[in-house]
Amino acid sequence: MSIIIDEKTRLIVQGITGNEGLFHTRQMVEYGTKIVGGVTPGKGGQSVDNIPVFNTVAAAAKETGANTSVIFVPPAFSADAVMEAADAGLKTIVCMTEGIPTLDMMQVKLYLKGKNINLVGPNTPGIISPGKCKIGVMAGYIHKQGSIGLISRSGTLTYEAVDFLTKNGFGQSTCIGIGGDPIIGLNFVDLLALFEKDRQTKAVVLIGEIGGTQEEEAAEFHKKRMKKPVVAFIAGKTAPPGRRMGHAGAIISGGSGTAAQKIKTLEKAGIPVVDYPELIPGELKKILRK
C-alpha cells in the first residue's frame, strides 16, 4: 500500500517556474509522479512542459482535482504558501524550503491545528513511495519497491540508508524525510502510527539525530502501541553540547538531546540501534527472522 502518497496522488508545484521548482518538477515527472498543475502568482495561463500554471493554489486545485502540493518558494513566502495550500483543501503538503523563520512555522502549526492535513517538512528531501510517486529531491533510482518503511531527520543519511537497503534486497514501502528544523509537520510518532497500520510495511527504519525529544517519544510510542519491529540509527555521537550540528533542530542543550541518551531510551524500548547506517540491513535480517 504505502503511506501518504501513491499512484493516485495528484500533485501541484508551488513555485514551478523558479529554477529549483522547474528542475525538480521535471525529475518528478520523469519518475512517474502525476503533476497536474503549477502555481506562480502573476504567471497564470502559462504552461511549463505542458503543465498548466495558475495564479493561486485554489484555482489550481479546482481546475485539476489536485490533492497534494509541493512547495519550492523562498523562505519569506513559504509559511503563506503552506497556509494557502491548506485553504485550498489539499490534504498533503510537502514543504521543501530551508531557512523558514521559526516564528513563521509557529504560526503555520497553529493555523493547521485541528485540520486533517499531512505537512511534510519544512527543510525536507521529501517523500517517496517507490514505483508509485516521488515528491521531493531524492534520487529515485536508488529506491526499490518493498516492505520497509523509513523515517529520517537527515536527507543525506536517508539516501545512504536507502542505498544500503536496496543493495541488500530490502525494498521500501515509503521513505520520508521529516525535516531538520525545530518546528515541523509530521513527526516520528505520527509516521510510526501510519506505518503500523500499513499492510505493505513489515518493519521500519528510524534515523534520528541529536537535539529535541522526538526519538524518545518514538521509543515510548513503539513500546506501548506498535507490534512491527523498528531499527534505529542515531547521528551525532561526538557532537559537543551547545553547538548546533547541521540542522537547526540538532542542538544539545541543558544536558538533554544527546545521542547517548536517545540510544539508551530506544534500546530500553526494544528498538535495536546500530552504530553505522551500513549495519541496518543486517539488523533487519535478524529481527525479521524472529
Q: Tell me which residues are annotated as active site.
A: 247
Beta-sheet strands, E only, within the chain: 11-14, 35-39, 47-48, 51-54, 68-71, 92-95, 118-120, 126-129, 133-136, 145-152, 172-177, 203-209, 230-235, 273-274
Q: In what order do the strands lie in the sheet with 230-235?
A: 133-136, 126-129, 172-177, 145-152, 203-209, 230-235, 273-274
**CA 65 to each of CA 57, 68, 270: distance values in angstroms, whole numbers, following the listed order:** 11, 9, 43
Distance CA 113, CA 182 (A): 17
Distance CA 104, CA 182 (A): 12
